[in-house]
Amino acid sequence: MARLAMLIDLTRCIGCDSCTLACKQEHGTPMDVFFARVLNVEAGTFPNVKRIYIPVLCNNCENPACLKACPNKAIFRREDGIVLIDQERCRGAGACVSACPYGNIILTDRDRWYLPDDRAYERDYVRPRLKEQVARKCTFCAHRVDEGLEPACVVACPTTARIFGDVEDPNSKISQYIAEQKQTTGREPFKLLPEAQTQPANMYLGTMAAQEVSTLEAPSAPSARWEEAKRQREPERVGVAAGAARLFAKITALWLLIMMLLFVLQAVAQQNGSAPTPAELYSDSSCAGCHGPTAMGGLGPPLAETKRSLEEFRKIVREGRGMMPATPPSEMPDAEIAVIHDFVQKTKLDPSQVPISYKVGQWLGTSQVTLIFSLVTLVWLVLTLRVLWYWADCAGWKQLQPYLRKFGYGRAMGVFLRSLVMDGLLVAHLWRRDRFRWAMHALMIYGFLALGLADILMSVFNPMRGSLPITHPLKLLPNLAGLAILIGIIYVRYRYSEDPYIDNGLTLSRDYAFLSLLTWTILTGFLVEGLGYAGAYVFIQPAYILHLLLVAGLFLTAPFTRFQHAFLVPVLMALTKVTSQVAYSGVELGFLNEPSPGRHHKSERIAEDVLRHVAPELAGKFRLRYYP
């Protein structure tokens, strides 16, 4: 094991961009694609102005956001700590582009090149090196490292500002340099954006130049100057749009909350339940499944000594109550009901025979189950939002705001929603690249959606859950959906066993956790169905409870397992789309003039972070420039 890392000494760095160009040379990257770059920061106002250069490259994080965001396991982490995007594997979804909080991943629609087509140099020796339309980033020059060489940017740095090596080895160049600098210059290395929790490998040492200024020039009021800049960045008309958008978001959230509360209240309101006998008929009936073979109760309440009249009894059977499904005359004629009612009424209730399961079952009334699932949903929602918030933060959502204001929130929302539908719901991206994989995704996604839909339809058209023939559309839909998911799972399991890319070095156990939960959820779902058809009523209830438990587990773990990619990837892809639209809209010169347009806002975040270390008083008053 090793932990390769790079230390960048900002005192030595002269901002010459040799690393930028050495990297282009080494990787043969196309136009506008820069794996290594140098942020050129000017901070403060004349004359109290400072300059700082911040070389940035892939941080090869220990907890890489990109890797976790990749829907396709194309990103993996090697034993030496290098995080790579497998060019063969990547399908260019672009989730990682937004996920990387440092803006170090680049995905371009089409590669553009520098030289005429007849130049053998580029045509034969450069262009073929990188695959088009896949996500790309700095590789720490893994191919050189494998040959025992240092990365190109390290060997090309004319001021040896980059120190490379294994931080776990105390004798390595990098470890020694850190120790030596601590001693001689008292500088401690720091890492970028610790709040992103990615645990970067790369470290920075602060600049030693005091950068004081001495002049008779009257200091301009810095705050006023930067306020002015800010004001210019947020024109008035966009202010209105921003307000409207914010209001809209608040109303939507409130509405969702109210709807959820109503749903819970309604479920609580739908309470109550109970029922009757004659011995043989009774014990063969579906009643016995829940109310016990001797009517002393099971998961359902005991029916012995029922106080209900036949009319009440029949009504309950016909219409169902709580979890108890409605039973049509075709399954249980009125006469049979009367017999059963008579039987249970006459049976003596022996409290000692009432099984413990009744107490559980009684508690598991429809209202409670609904309540529990409402809670589960709520927890799921909170966790999911938290996870989404984390990723939105990685995507630089906050830093993007000023540019979005300029771009227009409405317009951004449009791009976002369109992408959610296209990339999320329709998986259009896969459709273009790999129809088979699209089909497999479709099985799962539409299977899930159909299950949800079936549930809703059932509540609307068969609220009492009366048993339905298997050919009934309300039965057919969930069963087919389940089947689709099942096929999907079988394929995924097959793929997991065959696919060399499946272990990305970080998430495999979580991936399997999800897969197992999903498998068992679907299997128990079918088990419940099957038991019903087989008439093994006694087993239905426990199987059903198990199924519910699995569903709850599936949802509660969803934000942390592979499940998350179902909602996270579309959101990240949509964010990527929004960012790139903003970049190319020309609302901010910086976006377009920077290397690899679209990461300006993340670079600003990095600059702010570094300034906090080297010139805290200027942390909010800086800008990135793309000219020397």
Binding to other proteins (CB under 8 A) within 112-151 occurs at 114-116, 119-122, 124-125, 129-131, 136, 139, 142-143, 146, 149
Q: How far is the CB of 158 from other proteins (least distance, A)?
A: 5
Q: How far is the CB of 78 from other proteins (least distance, A)?
A: 8
294 to 333: interface string for other proteins, x by CB under 8 A: ----------------------------------------
Per-residue buried b or exposed e for 610-619, using 16+ beta carbons within 10 Å of the residue's own CB:
bbebbbeebb
Residues 400, 403, 408, CA angle at the centre, nearest 5°? 115
Q: How far is the CB of 34 from other proteins (least distance, A)?
A: 8
Using the rule CB under 8 A, which residue among 156, 295, 364, 489 binds other proteins? Answer: 156
Q: Binding of other proteins at residue 235 (CB under 8 A)? A: no
Cβ distance to other proteins smaller for residue 324 or 624? 624
Output the six-digit token pair for 153.
């940017």
Q: Binding of other proteins at residue 173 (CB under 8 A)? A: no
Return the axis-axis angle of helices 366-394 and 236-269, rounded to nearest 10°.
Answer: 160
Which residues, in sequence order, are CB contacts of 488 under 8 Å at separation 6+? 440, 443, 444, 447
Cβ distance to other proteins smaller for residue 187 or 565? 187
Output the six-digit token pair for 240.
């209105």
The answer to whether 273 and 323 have CB atoms below 8 angstroms apart is yes
Using the rule CB under 8 A, which residue among 148, 186, 351, 500 binds other proteins? Answer: 500
Q: Is the peptide bond before 194 cis (omega within 30 degrees of 0)?
A: no
The answer to whether 306 and 275 have CB atoms below 8 angstroms apart is yes
Number of residues near other proteins (by CB under 8 A): 90
Q: Binding of other proteins at residue 158 (CB under 8 A)? A: yes
Beta bridge partners of 51: 42
Q: How many CB atoms lie within 10 A of CB 580?
A: 20
Task: Write down the residue that tokens 């696919």 correspond to.
Answer: 499
Output the six-digit token pair for 380.
């799921």
Cα–Cα distance, 622 to 611 (Å, whole number): 9
Cβ distance to other proteins smaller for residue 351 or 616? 616
Q: Name which of residues 586 to 625 contact other proteins (CB under 8 A).
A: 586-587, 589, 592-593, 595, 625
Cβ distance to other proteins smaller for residue 526 or 626? 626
Q: How far is the CB of 111 from other proteins (least distance, A)?
A: 13
Cα–Cα distance, 205 to 161 (Å, whole number): 10
Using the rule CB under 8 A, which residue among 2, 80, 87, 173 binds other proteins? Answer: 87
Dihedral of CA atoms 366, 375, 450, 439 in degrees, nearest 10, equals -150
Q: How far is the CB of 204 from other proteins (least distance, A)?
A: 15
Q: How far is the CB of 159 from other proteins (least distance, A)?
A: 4
Q: How far is the CB of 429 from other proteins (least distance, A)?
A: 21
Q: How far is the CB of 365 from other proteins (least distance, A)?
A: 52
Q: How far is the CB of 603 from other proteins (least distance, A)?
A: 14
Q: Name which of residues 214 to 233 contact other proteins (CB under 8 A).
A: 214-217, 220, 225, 232
- Residue span binding other proteins (CB under 8 A) among the ranges 19-27, 297-305, 355-363, 432-440: 19-27
Cα–Cα distance, 270 to 330 (Å, whole number): 26
Task: Write down the residue that tokens 């509360």 correspond to.
Answer: 261
Q: How far is the CB of 213 from other proteins (least distance, A)?
A: 5
Using the rule CB under 8 A, which residue among 5, 7, 22, 238 binds other proteins? Answer: 22
Cα–Cα distance, 572 to 578 (Å, whole number): 10
Q: Binding of other proteins at residue 350 (CB under 8 A)? A: no
26 to 45: interface string for other proteins, x by CB under 8 A: xxx--xx-x-------x-xx
55 to 84: interface string for other proteins, x by CB under 8 A: ---------------------x-------x
Cβ distance to other proteins smaller for residue 186 or 616? 186
Q: How far does Cα 26 stand from its chain's mean position?
A: 33
Cβ distance to other proteins smaller for residue 117 or 311? 117
Cα–Cα distance, 355 to 383 (Å, whole number): 38
Q: How far is the CB of 181 from other proteins (least distance, A)?
A: 9
Strand pairing report for 37-45 and 622-625: antiparallel
Q: How far is the CB of 459 from other proteins (least distance, A)?
A: 47
- Residue span binding other proteins (CB under 8 A) among the ranges 59-67, 260-268, 463-471, 585-593: 585-593
Cα–Cα distance, 311 to 32 (Å, whole number): 79
Q: Binding of other proteins at residue 363 (CB under 8 A)? A: no
Count of residues making up the chain: 628
Using the rule CB under 8 A, which residue among 1, 79, 88, 497 binds other proteins? Answer: 88
Q: Name which of residues 185 to 204 contact other proteins (CB under 8 A).
A: 185
Residues 206, 211, 213, CA angle at the centre, nearest 5°? 160
Q: Strand ranges (DSSP E) for 428-514?
A: none
Per-residue buried b or exposed e for 442-458, using 16+ beta carbons within 10 Å of the residue's own CB:
bbbbbbbebbeebeeeb
